[in-house]
Structure 1
Amino acid sequence: MFISPMLLETAPGPFSHSDYLFEPKVDGHRLIYSQQSGNVRLYTRHNNDCTQQYPELLLPFDFDIILDGEVACTDPLTGLNDFEAVMSRFSTRQHSKVQQLTKTLPATFAIFDILQYKGQDIRKLPLVERKAILQGLQLPSNSFGVVPHIEGAGEALYAQIEAMGMEGVVGKRKDSQYVSRRSRDWQKVINWSHADVFITGYKKAEFGWLAAVPDPTGKMRPVGIIEHGPSPKHKQAFRGVCQQLVTGEDKYNVYLEPRIQARVKMRNWTKSGLLRIPVFDQFIV
Protein backbone atom coordinates (compact mmCIF):
# COMPACT_ATOMS: atom_id res chain seq x y z
CA MET A 1 0.00 0.00 0.00
CA PHE A 2 1.44 3.35 -1.06
CA ILE A 3 0.68 6.61 0.76
CA SER A 4 1.63 9.81 -1.07
CA PRO A 5 4.12 11.63 1.18
CA MET A 6 3.84 14.96 2.97
CA LEU A 7 6.10 17.51 1.27
CA LEU A 8 8.14 20.44 2.56
CA GLU A 9 7.77 24.16 2.01
CA THR A 10 10.98 26.23 1.92
CA ALA A 11 11.66 28.51 4.89
CA PRO A 12 13.37 31.87 4.15
CA GLY A 13 16.14 30.99 6.60
CA PRO A 14 16.97 29.17 9.85
CA PHE A 15 14.47 29.76 12.64
CA SER A 16 13.68 28.65 16.19
CA HIS A 17 10.20 28.20 17.64
CA SER A 18 8.80 26.31 20.62
CA ASP A 19 5.92 24.96 18.49
CA TYR A 20 8.38 23.09 16.22
CA LEU A 21 10.56 20.02 16.25
CA PHE A 22 13.78 20.27 14.24
CA GLU A 23 15.71 17.43 12.64
CA PRO A 24 18.64 17.03 10.22
CA LYS A 25 17.67 16.81 6.55
CA VAL A 26 18.94 13.48 5.24
CA ASP A 27 20.54 13.68 1.78
CA GLY A 28 19.02 10.66 0.06
CA HIS A 29 15.76 9.91 -1.70
CA ARG A 30 12.32 9.65 -0.15
CA LEU A 31 11.15 6.16 0.75
CA ILE A 32 7.79 4.84 1.88
CA TYR A 33 8.24 1.47 3.63
CA SER A 34 4.96 -0.46 3.53
CA GLN A 35 4.44 -3.80 5.27
CA GLN A 36 1.00 -5.30 4.63
CA SER A 37 0.10 -8.88 5.68
CA GLY A 38 3.80 -9.37 6.41
CA ASN A 39 4.82 -8.44 2.85
CA VAL A 40 7.26 -5.51 2.50
CA ARG A 41 7.20 -3.12 -0.47
CA LEU A 42 9.30 0.01 -0.94
CA TYR A 43 8.13 3.08 -2.89
CA THR A 44 9.61 6.42 -3.97
CA ARG A 45 7.67 9.64 -3.39
CA HIS A 46 6.25 9.30 -6.93
CA ASN A 47 4.90 5.78 -6.27
CA ASN A 48 7.69 4.00 -8.15
CA ASP A 49 8.28 0.54 -6.69
CA CYS A 50 11.95 0.22 -5.68
CA THR A 51 11.65 -2.94 -3.59
CA GLN A 52 14.21 -4.90 -5.60
CA GLN A 53 16.89 -2.20 -5.31
CA TYR A 54 17.24 -2.41 -1.51
CA PRO A 55 17.16 -6.04 -0.33
CA GLU A 56 18.77 -5.07 3.00
CA LEU A 57 15.61 -3.07 3.82
CA LEU A 58 13.14 -5.92 3.28
CA LEU A 59 13.35 -7.31 6.80
CA PRO A 60 9.84 -7.26 8.30
CA PHE A 61 8.59 -5.85 11.60
CA ASP A 62 6.48 -8.01 13.95
CA PHE A 63 3.32 -6.28 12.70
CA ASP A 64 2.04 -4.37 9.68
CA ILE A 65 3.37 -0.84 9.46
CA ILE A 66 3.91 2.08 7.03
CA LEU A 67 6.94 4.32 7.57
CA ASP A 68 8.20 7.50 5.90
CA GLY A 69 11.86 8.46 5.61
CA GLU A 70 14.89 8.70 3.36
CA VAL A 71 17.09 5.94 2.02
CA ALA A 72 20.73 7.06 2.13
CA CYS A 73 24.29 5.82 1.64
CA THR A 74 27.17 7.09 3.78
CA ASP A 75 30.58 8.05 2.43
CA PRO A 76 33.00 6.06 4.65
CA LEU A 77 35.68 8.76 4.30
CA THR A 78 33.59 11.76 5.37
CA GLY A 79 30.76 10.13 7.32
CA LEU A 80 28.33 12.27 5.29
CA ASN A 81 25.43 11.10 3.15
CA ASP A 82 26.52 10.43 -0.44
CA PHE A 83 23.68 11.35 -2.81
CA GLU A 84 25.48 10.00 -5.88
CA ALA A 85 25.95 6.65 -4.15
CA VAL A 86 22.25 6.28 -3.32
CA MET A 87 21.36 7.27 -6.90
CA SER A 88 23.69 4.49 -8.06
CA ARG A 89 21.79 2.08 -5.83
CA PHE A 90 18.44 3.32 -7.09
CA SER A 91 19.38 2.98 -10.77
CA THR A 92 20.79 -0.57 -10.42
CA ARG A 93 18.23 -3.27 -11.26
CA GLN A 94 20.30 -6.38 -12.11
CA HIS A 95 19.98 -8.83 -9.22
CA SER A 96 23.66 -9.84 -9.00
CA LYS A 97 24.83 -6.21 -9.09
CA VAL A 98 22.26 -5.23 -6.45
CA GLN A 99 23.50 -8.02 -4.17
CA GLN A 100 27.08 -6.83 -4.64
CA LEU A 101 26.15 -3.22 -3.86
CA THR A 102 24.52 -4.20 -0.57
CA LYS A 103 28.10 -4.94 0.58
CA THR A 104 30.04 -2.12 -1.15
CA LEU A 105 27.38 0.64 -0.94
CA PRO A 106 25.04 -0.41 1.89
CA ALA A 107 21.81 1.57 2.18
CA THR A 108 20.26 2.85 5.40
CA PHE A 109 16.60 3.73 5.92
CA ALA A 110 16.47 6.92 8.02
CA ILE A 111 12.91 6.99 9.39
CA PHE A 112 11.24 10.24 10.44
CA ASP A 113 7.53 9.39 10.54
CA ILE A 114 5.07 6.54 11.04
CA LEU A 115 1.78 6.55 9.13
CA GLN A 116 0.34 3.16 10.01
CA TYR A 117 1.02 1.21 13.22
CA LYS A 118 -0.11 -2.37 13.77
CA GLY A 119 -2.42 -1.92 10.78
CA GLN A 120 -4.04 1.26 12.20
CA ASP A 121 -3.91 4.56 10.28
CA ILE A 122 -2.37 7.12 12.69
CA ARG A 123 -1.85 10.06 10.30
CA LYS A 124 -4.36 12.20 12.23
CA LEU A 125 -2.36 11.94 15.46
CA PRO A 126 -0.16 14.98 16.25
CA LEU A 127 3.44 14.63 15.10
CA VAL A 128 4.75 14.41 18.68
CA GLU A 129 2.56 11.36 19.33
CA ARG A 130 3.65 9.70 16.07
CA LYS A 131 7.29 10.42 16.99
CA ALA A 132 6.77 8.80 20.42
CA ILE A 133 5.46 5.62 18.76
CA LEU A 134 8.38 5.72 16.33
CA GLN A 135 10.94 6.04 19.15
CA GLY A 136 9.51 2.91 20.79
CA LEU A 137 9.85 0.68 17.71
CA GLN A 138 12.08 -2.39 17.72
CA LEU A 139 13.93 -1.95 14.41
CA PRO A 140 14.58 -5.06 12.27
CA SER A 141 18.34 -4.46 11.75
CA ASN A 142 21.18 -1.93 11.75
CA SER A 143 20.07 -0.90 8.24
CA PHE A 144 17.22 1.00 9.92
CA GLY A 145 17.56 4.14 12.04
CA VAL A 146 15.29 6.84 13.45
CA VAL A 147 16.18 10.45 12.58
CA PRO A 148 16.88 12.36 15.84
CA HIS A 149 15.06 15.61 16.62
CA ILE A 150 15.20 18.48 19.10
CA GLU A 151 12.52 20.89 20.29
CA GLY A 152 12.56 24.59 19.49
CA ALA A 153 16.27 25.20 18.81
CA GLY A 154 16.30 25.27 15.00
CA GLU A 155 19.02 27.90 14.61
CA ALA A 156 21.45 26.06 16.90
CA LEU A 157 20.88 22.83 14.98
CA TYR A 158 21.35 24.62 11.66
CA ALA A 159 24.69 26.05 12.86
CA GLN A 160 25.87 22.49 13.64
CA ILE A 161 24.60 21.17 10.30
CA GLU A 162 26.32 24.01 8.43
CA ALA A 163 29.63 23.39 10.24
CA MET A 164 29.48 19.68 9.35
CA GLY A 165 28.66 20.32 5.69
CA MET A 166 25.34 18.46 5.88
CA GLU A 167 22.32 19.18 3.69
CA GLY A 168 20.08 21.21 5.95
CA VAL A 169 17.40 21.24 8.63
CA VAL A 170 13.68 20.47 8.64
CA GLY A 171 11.29 22.20 11.06
CA LYS A 172 7.94 20.51 11.73
CA ARG A 173 5.01 21.74 13.81
CA LYS A 174 4.61 19.50 16.85
CA ASP A 175 0.84 19.28 16.41
CA SER A 176 0.91 18.66 12.63
CA GLN A 177 -1.17 15.85 11.19
CA TYR A 178 0.26 13.93 8.23
CA VAL A 179 -1.21 15.17 4.94
CA SER A 180 -0.33 13.89 1.45
CA ARG A 181 0.58 17.29 -0.02
CA ARG A 182 3.00 20.19 0.43
CA SER A 183 2.39 21.96 3.74
CA ARG A 184 3.68 24.97 5.68
CA ASP A 185 3.63 22.73 8.77
CA TRP A 186 6.88 21.19 7.49
CA GLN A 187 9.64 23.58 6.36
CA LYS A 188 13.16 22.98 5.09
CA VAL A 189 16.23 25.17 5.37
CA ILE A 190 18.90 24.09 2.88
CA ASN A 191 22.61 24.58 3.60
CA TRP A 192 23.52 25.92 0.18
CA SER A 193 27.05 26.17 -1.23
CA HIS A 194 27.94 28.93 -3.69
CA ALA A 195 30.03 29.11 -6.86
CA ASP A 196 30.88 31.76 -9.44
CA VAL A 197 30.45 30.62 -13.04
CA PHE A 198 30.47 31.99 -16.57
CA ILE A 199 27.37 31.69 -18.76
CA THR A 200 28.59 30.23 -22.04
CA GLY A 201 25.27 29.73 -23.83
CA TYR A 202 21.59 29.00 -23.52
CA LYS A 203 19.15 26.26 -24.49
CA LYS A 204 16.81 26.81 -27.43
CA ALA A 205 13.81 24.69 -26.50
CA GLU A 206 13.23 25.50 -22.83
CA PHE A 207 14.90 27.86 -20.38
CA GLY A 208 18.45 27.00 -19.36
CA TRP A 209 21.77 28.84 -19.17
CA LEU A 210 24.92 26.81 -19.87
CA ALA A 211 27.44 27.27 -17.04
CA ALA A 212 31.21 26.78 -17.13
CA VAL A 213 34.30 27.53 -15.06
CA PRO A 214 37.90 28.03 -16.27
CA ASP A 215 40.16 25.00 -15.92
CA PRO A 216 43.85 25.41 -14.93
CA THR A 217 44.76 26.22 -18.56
CA GLY A 218 42.10 28.95 -18.77
CA LYS A 219 39.85 26.90 -21.05
CA MET A 220 36.15 26.83 -20.13
CA ARG A 221 34.94 23.57 -18.59
CA PRO A 222 31.14 22.95 -18.67
CA VAL A 223 29.70 22.40 -15.17
CA GLY A 224 25.97 22.16 -15.78
CA ILE A 225 22.82 24.06 -16.73
CA ILE A 226 21.12 26.76 -14.64
CA GLU A 227 17.37 26.21 -14.93
CA HIS A 228 16.08 27.88 -11.76
CA GLY A 229 16.36 31.17 -9.94
CA PRO A 230 16.47 34.15 -12.33
CA SER A 231 13.59 36.65 -12.18
CA PRO A 232 11.94 38.05 -15.34
CA LYS A 233 14.18 41.14 -14.92
CA HIS A 234 17.32 38.96 -14.84
CA LYS A 235 16.20 37.13 -17.98
CA GLN A 236 15.43 40.43 -19.72
CA ALA A 237 18.86 41.82 -18.81
CA PHE A 238 20.51 38.63 -20.10
CA ARG A 239 18.62 38.84 -23.42
CA GLY A 240 19.70 42.47 -23.80
CA VAL A 241 23.39 41.55 -23.65
CA CYS A 242 23.70 38.01 -25.02
CA GLN A 243 23.01 38.74 -28.71
CA GLN A 244 26.29 40.65 -28.94
CA LEU A 245 28.20 37.63 -27.59
CA VAL A 246 26.96 34.80 -29.85
CA THR A 247 29.78 32.61 -31.21
CA GLY A 248 27.72 29.81 -32.79
CA GLU A 249 24.86 27.39 -32.33
CA ASP A 250 23.73 23.81 -32.87
CA LYS A 251 20.37 22.04 -32.84
CA TYR A 252 19.91 22.48 -29.10
CA ASN A 253 21.98 25.45 -27.87
CA VAL A 254 23.23 28.93 -28.73
CA TYR A 255 26.84 29.49 -27.59
CA LEU A 256 28.26 32.73 -26.18
CA GLU A 257 31.62 34.28 -25.39
CA PRO A 258 32.26 33.74 -21.64
CA ARG A 259 31.71 37.36 -20.61
CA ILE A 260 28.62 37.10 -18.38
CA GLN A 261 29.47 35.91 -14.88
CA ALA A 262 26.94 34.74 -12.31
CA ARG A 263 26.87 33.48 -8.73
CA VAL A 264 24.84 30.31 -8.19
CA LYS A 265 23.81 28.47 -5.07
CA MET A 266 23.89 24.69 -5.18
CA ARG A 267 23.82 21.60 -2.98
CA ASN A 268 27.45 20.67 -3.72
CA TRP A 269 29.88 19.72 -6.47
CA THR A 270 29.40 16.20 -7.82
CA LYS A 271 32.36 13.82 -8.01
CA SER A 272 32.52 14.42 -11.76
CA GLY A 273 32.91 18.18 -11.21
CA LEU A 274 29.37 19.34 -11.97
CA LEU A 275 27.10 21.69 -10.04
CA ARG A 276 24.39 19.78 -8.20
CA ILE A 277 21.02 21.53 -8.58
CA PRO A 278 22.39 25.01 -9.45
CA VAL A 279 20.07 27.96 -8.74
CA PHE A 280 20.87 31.44 -10.09
CA ASP A 281 21.56 33.94 -7.32
CA GLN A 282 22.91 37.10 -9.00
CA PHE A 283 24.98 38.47 -11.85
CA ILE A 284 28.55 39.46 -11.01
CA VAL A 285 29.58 42.81 -12.49
Structure 2
Amino acid sequence: MRPMLATRGSRVPADDAWMHEVKWDGMRVVVEAGRGKVRLWSRNENDVTVTFPELHALADLDHEVLLDGEVVAFLDGVPKFGALADRMHVSQAARARALAERNPVTLLAFDLLRLDGEDLMGLPLTERRARLEGLGLADVHWQVPAAYDDGLMLMAATEQQGLEGIVSKKRSSRYHPGRRSADWLKFPHRASGSYVVGGWRRETDSRTRIGAVLVGEPAGGGLRYRGRVGSGIAGKAGQRLLDVLAPYETDVSPFVDEVPKVDALGTTWLVPEVVVEVAALGFTPAGRLRQPAFLGVRTDLTPEEVVPHA
Protein backbone atom coordinates (compact mmCIF):
# COMPACT_ATOMS: atom_id res chain seq x y z
CA MET A 1 0.00 0.00 0.00
CA ARG A 2 1.31 3.43 -0.92
CA PRO A 3 1.12 6.05 1.85
CA MET A 4 -0.89 9.26 1.74
CA LEU A 5 1.20 12.26 0.67
CA ALA A 6 1.29 15.93 1.61
CA THR A 7 1.02 18.92 -0.74
CA ARG A 8 3.54 21.77 -0.53
CA GLY A 9 1.89 24.61 1.37
CA SER A 10 2.31 28.36 1.02
CA ARG A 11 1.27 29.49 4.51
CA VAL A 12 1.18 27.58 7.80
CA PRO A 13 -2.49 27.29 8.92
CA ALA A 14 -3.17 29.13 12.18
CA ASP A 15 -6.72 27.98 12.98
CA ASP A 16 -7.82 25.17 15.31
CA ALA A 17 -8.83 22.88 12.43
CA TRP A 18 -5.18 21.84 12.01
CA MET A 19 -2.52 20.00 13.98
CA HIS A 20 1.17 20.16 13.20
CA GLU A 21 4.02 17.64 13.23
CA VAL A 22 7.75 17.75 12.61
CA LYS A 23 8.72 16.87 9.03
CA TRP A 24 11.31 14.13 9.41
CA ASP A 25 14.28 13.84 7.08
CA GLY A 26 14.13 10.09 6.49
CA MET A 27 12.51 7.26 4.56
CA ARG A 28 8.74 6.83 4.50
CA VAL A 29 7.54 3.32 5.39
CA VAL A 30 4.33 1.41 5.98
CA VAL A 31 4.69 -1.19 8.72
CA GLU A 32 2.54 -4.24 9.42
CA ALA A 33 3.46 -5.67 12.81
CA GLY A 34 2.39 -7.47 15.94
CA ARG A 35 1.52 -10.95 17.22
CA GLY A 36 4.58 -12.61 15.78
CA LYS A 37 4.98 -10.88 12.43
CA VAL A 38 6.54 -7.76 10.98
CA ARG A 39 6.84 -6.43 7.43
CA LEU A 40 7.97 -3.06 6.15
CA TRP A 41 7.30 -1.49 2.75
CA SER A 42 8.86 1.59 1.21
CA ARG A 43 6.83 4.38 -0.31
CA ASN A 44 6.91 2.64 -3.70
CA GLU A 45 5.80 -0.68 -2.15
CA ASN A 46 9.17 -2.45 -2.07
CA ASP A 47 9.59 -4.89 0.82
CA VAL A 48 12.35 -3.46 3.04
CA THR A 49 11.88 -5.73 6.05
CA VAL A 50 15.42 -7.13 5.77
CA THR A 51 16.88 -3.63 5.55
CA PHE A 52 16.01 -2.59 9.11
CA PRO A 53 16.58 -5.52 11.51
CA GLU A 54 16.35 -3.30 14.59
CA LEU A 55 12.62 -2.94 13.84
CA HIS A 56 11.93 -6.68 13.73
CA ALA A 57 11.08 -6.73 17.45
CA LEU A 58 7.85 -4.92 16.55
CA ALA A 59 6.61 -8.47 15.95
CA ASP A 60 6.30 -8.75 19.74
CA LEU A 61 3.51 -6.16 19.97
CA ASP A 62 0.32 -7.41 21.65
CA HIS A 63 -1.81 -5.84 18.89
CA GLU A 64 -1.78 -6.27 15.13
CA VAL A 65 -1.16 -2.85 13.61
CA LEU A 66 -0.63 -1.16 10.26
CA LEU A 67 1.46 1.97 10.80
CA ASP A 68 2.53 4.88 8.64
CA GLY A 69 5.79 6.51 9.62
CA GLU A 70 9.32 7.58 8.84
CA VAL A 71 12.56 5.68 9.41
CA VAL A 72 15.29 8.13 10.44
CA ALA A 73 18.99 8.01 11.29
CA PHE A 74 20.60 10.66 13.45
CA LEU A 75 23.71 12.71 12.79
CA ASP A 76 24.86 14.89 15.71
CA GLY A 77 21.45 14.38 17.31
CA VAL A 78 19.46 15.52 14.26
CA PRO A 79 17.70 13.25 11.71
CA LYS A 80 19.57 13.55 8.41
CA PHE A 81 18.80 11.80 5.14
CA GLY A 82 22.51 11.57 4.43
CA ALA A 83 22.98 9.50 7.59
CA LEU A 84 20.32 7.08 6.35
CA ALA A 85 21.62 6.73 2.79
CA ASP A 86 23.93 3.80 3.59
CA ARG A 87 21.05 1.87 5.15
CA MET A 88 18.34 2.24 2.52
CA HIS A 89 19.65 0.04 -0.28
CA VAL A 90 20.80 -2.96 1.79
CA SER A 91 19.10 -6.27 0.98
CA GLN A 92 21.54 -8.74 2.57
CA ALA A 93 20.53 -9.67 6.11
CA ALA A 94 24.08 -10.03 7.48
CA ARG A 95 25.16 -6.64 6.16
CA ALA A 96 21.96 -5.02 7.40
CA ARG A 97 22.61 -6.37 10.91
CA ALA A 98 26.19 -5.07 10.86
CA LEU A 99 25.07 -1.62 9.75
CA ALA A 100 22.33 -1.58 12.38
CA GLU A 101 24.99 -1.99 15.05
CA ARG A 102 27.02 0.96 13.76
CA ASN A 103 24.25 3.24 12.52
CA PRO A 104 20.89 2.33 14.07
CA VAL A 105 17.58 3.77 12.89
CA THR A 106 14.40 4.83 14.66
CA LEU A 107 10.84 4.42 13.41
CA LEU A 108 8.73 7.53 14.03
CA ALA A 109 5.13 6.27 13.70
CA PHE A 110 2.70 9.13 13.07
CA ASP A 111 -0.45 7.36 11.86
CA LEU A 112 -2.39 4.17 12.62
CA LEU A 113 -4.25 2.71 9.65
CA ARG A 114 -5.43 -0.63 11.02
CA LEU A 115 -5.74 -2.06 14.54
CA ASP A 116 -6.51 -5.73 15.23
CA GLY A 117 -8.22 -6.12 11.88
CA GLU A 118 -10.24 -2.89 12.08
CA ASP A 119 -9.70 -0.48 9.18
CA LEU A 120 -9.21 3.01 10.66
CA MET A 121 -8.50 4.94 7.45
CA GLY A 122 -12.06 6.30 7.27
CA LEU A 123 -11.79 7.84 10.74
CA PRO A 124 -10.70 11.44 11.37
CA LEU A 125 -7.01 11.94 12.07
CA THR A 126 -7.73 12.90 15.68
CA GLU A 127 -9.27 9.47 16.35
CA ARG A 128 -6.46 7.62 14.59
CA ARG A 129 -3.87 9.57 16.59
CA ALA A 130 -5.64 8.87 19.87
CA ARG A 131 -5.59 5.13 19.22
CA LEU A 132 -1.97 5.29 18.09
CA GLU A 133 -0.90 7.13 21.23
CA GLY A 134 -2.76 4.54 23.32
CA LEU A 135 -0.59 1.69 22.04
CA GLY A 136 2.42 2.67 24.15
CA LEU A 137 4.90 2.53 21.27
CA ALA A 138 7.95 3.75 23.16
CA ASP A 139 11.28 2.03 22.57
CA VAL A 140 14.82 2.95 21.64
CA HIS A 141 14.00 2.01 18.03
CA TRP A 142 10.42 3.28 17.68
CA GLN A 143 8.22 5.99 19.10
CA VAL A 144 5.20 8.19 18.36
CA PRO A 145 6.32 11.79 17.79
CA ALA A 146 4.28 14.61 19.28
CA ALA A 147 1.69 16.68 17.46
CA TYR A 148 1.33 20.40 18.19
CA ASP A 149 -1.43 23.00 18.10
CA ASP A 150 0.76 26.00 17.20
CA GLY A 151 2.19 25.56 13.71
CA LEU A 152 4.01 28.89 13.57
CA MET A 153 5.78 28.11 16.82
CA LEU A 154 6.76 24.67 15.55
CA MET A 155 7.99 26.14 12.26
CA ALA A 156 10.29 28.53 14.10
CA ALA A 157 11.48 25.86 16.54
CA THR A 158 12.31 23.31 13.86
CA GLU A 159 14.29 25.88 11.88
CA GLN A 160 16.27 26.80 15.00
CA GLN A 161 16.99 23.13 15.73
CA GLY A 162 18.11 22.33 12.20
CA LEU A 163 15.15 20.04 11.41
CA GLU A 164 13.66 19.62 7.96
CA GLY A 165 10.39 21.47 8.48
CA ILE A 166 6.80 20.73 9.49
CA VAL A 167 3.68 19.01 8.17
CA SER A 168 0.28 20.54 8.95
CA LYS A 169 -2.68 18.15 8.91
CA LYS A 170 -6.42 18.75 9.15
CA ARG A 171 -7.74 17.14 12.30
CA SER A 172 -10.74 15.86 10.33
CA SER A 173 -8.66 14.35 7.51
CA ARG A 174 -9.30 10.76 6.46
CA TYR A 175 -6.45 8.60 5.18
CA HIS A 176 -6.33 8.17 1.39
CA PRO A 177 -3.58 5.71 0.36
CA GLY A 178 -1.41 6.90 -2.51
CA ARG A 179 -3.15 10.25 -2.81
CA ARG A 180 -1.42 13.63 -2.51
CA SER A 181 -3.93 15.61 -0.47
CA ALA A 182 -4.38 19.28 0.41
CA ASP A 183 -5.56 18.07 3.84
CA TRP A 184 -1.85 17.56 4.61
CA LEU A 185 0.51 20.46 3.88
CA LYS A 186 4.31 20.32 4.04
CA PHE A 187 6.59 23.25 4.82
CA PRO A 188 10.28 22.40 4.39
CA HIS A 189 13.00 24.76 5.58
CA ARG A 190 15.72 23.81 3.18
CA ALA A 191 15.76 23.87 -0.59
CA SER A 192 16.26 20.19 -1.30
CA GLY A 193 14.41 17.72 -3.42
CA SER A 194 14.41 14.52 -5.40
CA TYR A 195 15.74 14.39 -8.96
CA VAL A 196 16.20 11.70 -11.62
CA VAL A 197 19.72 10.90 -12.82
CA GLY A 198 20.14 11.12 -16.60
CA GLY A 199 23.89 10.75 -16.87
CA TRP A 200 27.22 10.67 -15.06
CA ARG A 201 30.69 12.05 -15.67
CA ARG A 202 34.09 10.80 -14.59
CA GLU A 203 36.19 12.63 -12.07
CA THR A 204 38.90 14.76 -13.66
CA ASP A 205 42.03 12.73 -14.44
CA SER A 206 40.30 9.45 -13.55
CA ARG A 207 39.11 6.65 -15.81
CA THR A 208 36.99 4.94 -13.19
CA ARG A 209 35.83 7.32 -10.44
CA ILE A 210 32.55 9.19 -10.77
CA GLY A 211 32.82 12.96 -10.46
CA ALA A 212 29.28 14.22 -11.06
CA VAL A 213 25.77 13.27 -12.11
CA LEU A 214 23.42 15.12 -14.46
CA VAL A 215 19.92 15.34 -13.01
CA GLY A 216 16.50 16.39 -14.16
CA GLU A 217 12.77 16.24 -13.56
CA PRO A 218 10.09 14.33 -15.50
CA ALA A 219 8.85 16.28 -18.53
CA GLY A 220 7.47 15.33 -21.92
CA GLY A 221 8.37 11.66 -21.75
CA GLY A 222 11.94 12.39 -20.66
CA LEU A 223 13.76 14.68 -18.27
CA ARG A 224 14.01 18.44 -18.04
CA TYR A 225 17.63 19.27 -17.30
CA ARG A 226 18.26 20.75 -13.85
CA GLY A 227 22.02 20.66 -13.64
CA ARG A 228 25.23 18.87 -12.79
CA VAL A 229 25.80 17.67 -9.23
CA GLY A 230 29.36 16.98 -8.10
CA SER A 231 29.57 18.00 -4.45
CA GLY A 232 29.04 15.10 -2.04
CA ILE A 233 30.15 12.46 -4.53
CA ALA A 234 33.51 11.14 -3.36
CA GLY A 235 35.16 8.02 -2.00
CA LYS A 236 32.90 5.15 -1.04
CA ALA A 237 29.73 7.19 -1.65
CA GLY A 238 30.78 7.71 -5.25
CA GLN A 239 31.59 4.06 -5.81
CA ARG A 240 28.24 2.96 -4.36
CA LEU A 241 26.46 5.43 -6.61
CA LEU A 242 28.35 4.19 -9.66
CA ASP A 243 27.37 0.61 -8.83
CA VAL A 244 23.71 1.68 -8.75
CA LEU A 245 23.94 3.57 -12.06
CA ALA A 246 25.93 1.02 -14.07
CA PRO A 247 22.98 -1.18 -15.16
CA TYR A 248 21.21 1.80 -16.77
CA GLU A 249 23.91 3.01 -19.18
CA THR A 250 22.67 3.87 -22.69
CA ASP A 251 23.79 5.75 -25.80
CA VAL A 252 20.90 8.22 -25.84
CA SER A 253 20.41 11.30 -23.68
CA PRO A 254 17.14 11.14 -21.68
CA PHE A 255 16.86 14.94 -21.49
CA VAL A 256 14.16 16.61 -23.61
CA ASP A 257 15.93 19.98 -23.57
CA GLU A 258 19.49 20.77 -24.58
CA VAL A 259 22.23 19.97 -22.09
CA PRO A 260 25.01 22.59 -22.21
CA LYS A 261 28.10 21.29 -24.02
CA VAL A 262 30.26 21.91 -20.95
CA ASP A 263 28.06 19.48 -19.01
CA ALA A 264 27.40 16.97 -21.80
CA LEU A 265 31.07 16.52 -22.73
CA GLY A 266 32.24 13.07 -21.64
CA THR A 267 28.90 12.13 -20.09
CA THR A 268 27.71 8.53 -19.92
CA TRP A 269 23.95 8.70 -20.53
CA LEU A 270 21.51 6.69 -18.45
CA VAL A 271 18.01 5.31 -18.73
CA PRO A 272 16.20 7.58 -16.20
CA GLU A 273 15.45 5.09 -13.44
CA VAL A 274 17.52 6.22 -10.44
CA VAL A 275 16.28 8.93 -8.07
CA VAL A 276 18.66 10.92 -5.87
CA GLU A 277 18.20 13.49 -3.12
CA VAL A 278 19.93 16.82 -3.73
CA ALA A 279 20.33 19.88 -1.49
CA ALA A 280 20.72 23.23 -3.24
CA LEU A 281 20.46 26.98 -2.73
CA GLY A 282 17.50 27.31 -5.05
CA PHE A 283 17.75 27.77 -8.83
CA THR A 284 19.62 30.04 -11.20
CA PRO A 285 17.67 32.26 -13.66
CA ALA A 286 18.25 29.51 -16.25
CA GLY A 287 16.49 26.98 -14.04
CA ARG A 288 19.64 25.14 -12.94
CA LEU A 289 20.28 24.02 -9.37
CA ARG A 290 22.42 26.53 -7.49
CA GLN A 291 25.38 25.00 -5.60
CA PRO A 292 23.82 21.48 -5.52
CA ALA A 293 25.12 18.73 -3.25
CA PHE A 294 24.40 15.00 -3.50
CA LEU A 295 22.80 13.54 -0.35
CA GLY A 296 21.99 9.97 -1.36
CA VAL A 297 20.02 7.58 -3.56
CA ARG A 298 16.25 7.48 -3.00
CA THR A 299 15.51 3.78 -3.24
CA ASP A 300 12.05 4.54 -1.84
CA LEU A 301 11.00 6.63 -4.86
CA THR A 302 10.39 5.91 -8.52
CA PRO A 303 10.97 8.52 -11.25
CA GLU A 304 7.20 8.80 -11.72
CA GLU A 305 6.87 9.96 -8.11
CA VAL A 306 9.27 12.88 -8.51
CA VAL A 307 7.29 16.12 -8.41
CA PRO A 308 8.78 18.87 -10.62
CA HIS A 309 9.66 22.13 -8.88
CA ALA A 310 7.98 25.31 -10.04
- The normalised TM-score by structure 1 is 0.70
The aligned residue for residue 73 of structure 2 is 73
Task: Give yes or no for contact 1:203–1:252 (8 Å, CA) kept in 2.
Answer: no
Q: Which amino acid aligns with 2:68?
A: D
CA distance change for structure 1 residues 146 and 171 in 2, over 3 Å: closer, same or farther?
A: same
Q: Unpaired segments of 5 or more residues in structure 1?
A: 195-201, 215-237, 254-258
The aligned residue for residue 8 of structure 1 is 6
| CA–CA distance in structure 2, aligned partners of residues 68 and 212 of structure 1 | 32
Q: Which amino acid aligns with 1:74?
A: F
Q: Which amino acid aligns with 2:134?
A: G
- Note the C-alpha offset of 1:7: 0.7
Number of residues of Structure 1 aligned to a counterpart in Structure 2: 234
Q: Is 1:206 paired with 2:203?
A: no
| CA–CA distance in structure 2, aligned partners of residues 85 and 20 of structure 1 | 31
| CA–CA distance in structure 1, aligned partners of residues 86 and 139 of structure 2 | 22
Coordinate RMSD, CA, aligned: 3.5
Task: Give yes or no for contact 1:73–1:105 (8 Å, CA) kept in 2.
Answer: yes
Larger Rg: 1
The aligned residue for residue 140 of structure 2 is 142
Q: Which amino acid aligns with 1:208?
A: Y
CA distance change for structure 1 residues 18 and 207 in 2, over 3 Å: closer, same or farther?
A: same
Tell me, what secondary structure is at the counterpart of 2:154?
A: helix
Which digits, 9 at most, give the CA deviation of each residue in 1:145-171, with x for residues without a partner? Answer: 1121112x2111101111112111000
Q: Unpaired segments of 5 or more residues in structure 2?
A: 193-213, 217-221, 232-256, 270-283, 297-305
Which digits, 9 at most, give the CA deviation of each residue in 1:38-96, with x for residues without a partner? Answer: 32110011110000011111112112110000001011xx2111212222111122222
Task: Give yes or no for contact 2:229–2:294 (8 Å, CA) kept in 1.
Answer: no
The aligned residue for residue 172 of structure 2 is 175
Tell me, what secondary structure is at the counterpart of 1:208?
A: strand
The aligned residue for residue 83 of structure 1 is 81
CA distance change for structure 1 residues 40 and 203 in 2, over 3 Å: closer, same or farther?
A: closer
CA distance change for structure 1 residues 213 and 136 in 2, over 3 Å: closer, same or farther?
A: closer
- The normalised TM-score by structure 2 is 0.65
The aligned residue for residue 163 of structure 1 is 160
CA distance change for structure 1 residues 188 and 265 in 2, over 3 Å: closer, same or farther?
A: farther
CA distance change for structure 1 residues 116 and 55 in 2, over 3 Å: closer, same or farther?
A: same
Task: Give yes or no for contact 1:34–1:41 (8 Å, CA) kept in 2.
Answer: yes
- Note the C-alpha offset of 1:264: 4.8
